[in-house]
Structure 1
């Protein structure tokens, strides 16, 4: 790929920035000047209108308008308008009465002011009562009529507009009698020729000044950049490329070399050169350590594979587990999130008529969780003895786990003991997920208030629950890796999906193995390619028939 010189890119960026800055400054100046002139016109025209309206007998003018005849009041008003216009820098000063919004004759003139020079030139003097003809468009007449009827007392109306003689700024005010009745609209016009001339010249002046400034600035900046930035960076680039080439040619990190460039700018570039030299040295050490750590990780990985094999061998994986016991069927599976997981399950015969199942989840993952799992699994199995209530088992196991729990791990666990003679299923729940029971053709979550987790607090009390199963009933227990499985959109699999798949297509009528396979397949479809963050463990027990004694 063709490379562009840094100086060229910087100069190009500065040119664009300078042009944009010049444009913005010109626009701001334009707006500021225009706004200031408009404010000046407003103030000046307001003063003119106030001067006309103040100290005048407008009630006499109201009578003249009502009688539609020019009398002394109208003549006095014309004299005042003539005087004020002759002594002011304005273009027009007039008063008219809005009548309607027709295309013609929508206004009636009351009076207009003239200077002596205008009279000498023979300009037509607008007489009292003259109709406007087609001078005012319909939309303008509508604006005048609306202002005439709806304006507040002493309110001004500003109307900049373009005429055939140029831009005009108009300020208007409604003249009222002493009773507040509107008589007409008094308006003053000023040509904005000075704004037009200035605004035409202003952008050109700004652009020319900015262009000259940009050329001088760019020339100076180019020389400065070449000396203080481009040349030092080129030296750095050459040293870095040589270091990169040596890293490809040599396998021993100790033989890598980074030639320090001769940079004496006493600024950030010199600091960068020093930092690169330090980084090259650190990189050599890092590569050496990385090679050592990679070898160590390979060794640990091999050990973890062995640990995984040992852990899996500690879980019962032979199914059916009790071929001679036709009264029950059991199947279980565990899919760890890491090489060594923290979930576990277990099932065993307590005596000839009692079978126990255990599903648990150790906090954390990896080797520590697996070791704690082994301890917990062993303690639960050792203390589940004939005649021992599951709650008593958990109380003893909890106290033993609390004695040597320096890592502050804990276990959520569910244990149930089924009497295959009576069908009684006694269970204890230490903060674990509720089991699903297949009965009367549907799966239902058996929700009870769980007790506290194992290894949480010494002396914690646990309570047992009891239900009676009928032949054909099934129990599905699982860990939170099932309902908390997450897809790429961070959506949870959830209890609703689990309940739906268990009650779809008569799932409960399947074998224990097929039920677990169905749920796992549905989870896999939901999760798709998202990584697995937690162990997924499930155990299903079917009470097929009672033991005859």
Structure 2
């Protein structure tokens, strides 16, 4: 034979006490005991049925009830909730459970949203949105108290045709706190009523002589071994909750070698663990706030590194220039810059560092400084990229790299010399047409030292313009994982022909946002437009 399951010690104590009590109980004291038992039963059943009703309410979506009443049809969510409510009926052995809207001055007009019933029972489930005129004073008064006062009502119904039962009626509130329905949970207590009647019939024969003995022994036993320890646990937990989570060692006074003793020591340990966890949470919260503050400062520093004034060069009326950078995180890895090297030469550049966050932002700052430095030395685009590449490769143990498009425009000749280090092709507006300025791209910066870079040139005339961007523009993704792409970019640019530089970037960003919708931005978005007037 298999090993018998161990009976808990506390169960043995209760069983012994009940057996002694049953033997000693007399008819006179039995009646008093029965009344006390009945009162406790009602209290326990009230608590249980309230808990069941409250738990069932948590499964509902009351915000849909108005739609159900308006449209007169249910959705897919209704079936799932109805199944959950049916599980409540089955697992808790309820007669039925209903969720209904009650109207009328006397609360007699009822419309049912849900009405699962006990399988194989005597109750019939009402269909979805079934309506009826129901006049029953106790029910109507209870419904009124639920809807008008927001009370949870427990009704005891005894000796009806359907038997004795207990019903909890609780208000159902939507997300705005408005009571939109009542949930009722009904459970049979017929078994208890029958058992009580038999109990009274049998116990009457017990001699009155043993009433006092039973009361004394039973009260002492439970008072000393059960009630007193539980009362101490209750007081200590209440003290812990009321006085700022300060534990005490009074629970260690409970010396029971049973489940109550285990519970007391577990609660004592839990109090200390909670205090410890609270301290850890405070520490983690402070650290999180510190990091958040530092990231905000880093974002401000990065933003201050990029030119933002418009017009960029107020004294120059022969061109229009503007750029923006929107990071995907607090700080980003994109860069842009423009420097009027002298009255006849303008340097413009846009770059995109691999990765995101603080490492990319630091690498971006280094790259921007190097490009600005070599540009001011009067070097050509290819030479600027070659020297910057050498410096970026040094000490780059993290393996970061950056794509860069850099151009230097000569106003006197209209020539734009440029070099491309693995960057997306810019959009060129020339001869009333938009197209990509495609050239053979060079290798990215920061990955391999001492590699040569090719340089190209085009001529820009009056009204020509060039739009430079990072891949965060064309790779912007909507909720269906579709890319914004090159074609949508060209279509967006065609709507900017007569706009200023800031208006052009705003128009393109609006097109991106409209395409992306509610999808999250996962990459930095940087745009620069240079327009000759």
Could you state the TM-score of these two structures normalised by the residue count of structure 1? 0.50
CA spacing shift, 1:3–1:429, aligned 2, 3 Å: same
Q: CA deviation at 1:345?
A: 0.7
Partner of 1:317: 308
CA contact (8 A) 2:374 2:384 kept: yes
Q: What's the C-alpha RMSD, in Å, of the aligned pairs?
A: 4.0
The residue correspondences of 1:114-513 to structure 2 (distance < 5 A) are: 249=242, 251-252=244-245, 255=247, 284-385=275-376, 387-504=378-495, 507-513=496-502
Q: Which of 505, 530, 539 in structure 1 is aligned with 2:528? A: 539
The residue correspondences of 1:519-534 to structure 2 (distance < 5 A) are: 519-534=508-523
Aligned residues: 315
Unaligned runs of 5+ in 2: 1-49, 56-86, 94-118, 120-230
Task: Find the aligned partners of 1:256 and 1:361 in 2 and give their Cα distance.
Answer: 59
Q: CA deviation at 1:316?
A: 0.7
CA spacing shift, 1:326–1:409, aligned 2, 3 Å: same
Can you list the C-alpha shifts for 1:110-144, whole angstroms capped at 9, x where unaligned? xxxxxxxxxxxxxxxxxxxxxxxxxxxxxxxxxxx
SS at 2:463 equivalent: coil
Q: CA deviation at 1:307?
A: 2.1
CA spacing shift, 1:7–1:389, aligned 2, 3 Å: closer
SS at 1:384 equivalent: helix
CA contact (8 A) 1:256 1:284 kept: no
CA contact (8 A) 1:258 1:280 kept: no
Partner of 1:138: none
SS at 1:408 equivalent: coil
Task: Find the aligned partners of 1:263 and 1:472 in 2 and give their Cα distance.
Answer: 93
Can you list the C-alpha shifts for 1:431-460, whole angstroms capped at 9, x where unaligned? 111100011222211122322211112223
SS at 1:300 equivalent: helix
Can you list the C-alpha shifts for 1:173-223, whole angstroms capped at 9, x where unaligned? xxxxxxxxxxxxxxxxxxxxxxxxxxxxxxxxxxxxxxxxxxxxxxxxxxx
Task: Find the aligned partners of 1:368 and 1:421 in 2 and give their Cα distance.
Answer: 40
Could you state the TM-score of these two structures normalised by the residue count of structure 2? 0.52
SS at 1:467 equivalent: strand
Task: Find the aligned partners of 1:273 and 1:9 in 2 and give their Cα distance.
Answer: 34
CA spacing shift, 1:3–1:413, aligned 2, 3 Å: same
Q: CA deviation at 1:347?
A: 0.1
CA contact (8 A) 2:251 2:264 kept: no
Task: Find the aligned partners of 1:336 and 1:242 in 2 and give their Cα distance.
Answer: 54
Task: Find the aligned partners of 1:440 and 1:306 in 2 and give their Cα distance.
Answer: 45
Task: Find the aligned partners of 2:516 and 2:257 in 1 and give their Cα distance.
Answer: 55
SS at 2:419 equivalent: strand
Task: Find the aligned partners of 1:444 and 1:256 in 2 and give their Cα distance.
Answer: 77
